[in-house]
Amino acid sequence: MTEDDLLTFIASIGSVWALELLLLLKRDPGRSWDPESLVRELRSSSVVIDEGLRRLQGAGLVMQDGARTYRYQTASPKLDNMASELEKVYATKPMTVIKAIVNARTDKLRAFSDAFKLKD
């Protein structure tokens, strides 16, 4: 896995809240969580948790395990390896990971706003 692969993966997480959610679920992959428990554990809001779960499900990192329960399960071993590498980097260089997430969001916003600029 290259650094670019990891940076692309980090950017796909979308937010620091989603990252924290992913790492919480990954710590105990056999445990199923309902959104309310995740809100309490992360001291977050239901909107943030719902968005994070939706994003992580779409990325193939989390699966819905019951009517309203979720757990860490990746769609492939490669994704599991990427999540493990992300966990290691975040533990040793949290600001590097946070900056990568923020920069990815800023780049998307810039591209969106540039689409509406008038050309000379």
pLDDT value of residue 113:
45
User: What pLDDT band is residue 17 in, cutting at 50, 70 and 90?
Assistant: very high
Identify the CATH number of the domain in which residue 61 sits: 1.10.10.10
Q: Could you tell me if residue 31 is inside a domain?
A: yes
pLDDT value of residue 111:
47
Q: Could you tell me if residue 11 is inside a domain?
A: yes
Q: Who has greater pLDDT, 38 or 9?
A: 38
Cα dihedral 72→73→75→77 (10° resolution)? 110
Q: Could you tell me if residue 32 is inside a domain?
A: yes
Tens digits of per-residue pLDDT, 22-76?
999 999 999 999 999 999 999 999 999 999 999 999 999 999 987 899 999 999 9
Q: What is the DSSP string of 5-21?
A: HHHHHHHHH-SHHHHHH
pLDDT value of residue 74:
96
- Domain that includes residue 63, residue range: 3-109
Neighbours of 19 (CB within 10 A): 21
Tens digits of per-residue pLDDT, 87-96?
999 999 999 8
Q: Could you tell me if residue 56 is inside a domain?
A: yes
Q: Could you tell me if residue 17 is inside a domain?
A: yes
Q: Could you tell me if residue 88 is inside a domain?
A: yes
Kindly report the backbone phi and psi dihedral angles of residue 33, in degrees, each rounded to the nearest multiple of 5, phi listed first.
Answer: -120, 140
pLDDT value of residue 103:
87
Whether the pLDDT of residue 117 is over 60: the answer is no
**Number of domains composing the chain:** 1
Q: What is the DSSP string of 35-50?
A: HHHHHHHHT--HHHHH
The rounded distance, in Å, linking the Cα atoms of 16 and 20 is 6
Q: Could you tell me if residue 117 is inside a domain?
A: no
Q: Could you tell me if residue 116 is inside a domain?
A: no
**Mode of pairing for the β-strands spanning 70-72 and 62-64:** antiparallel
Helix (H) or strand (E) holding 74: none
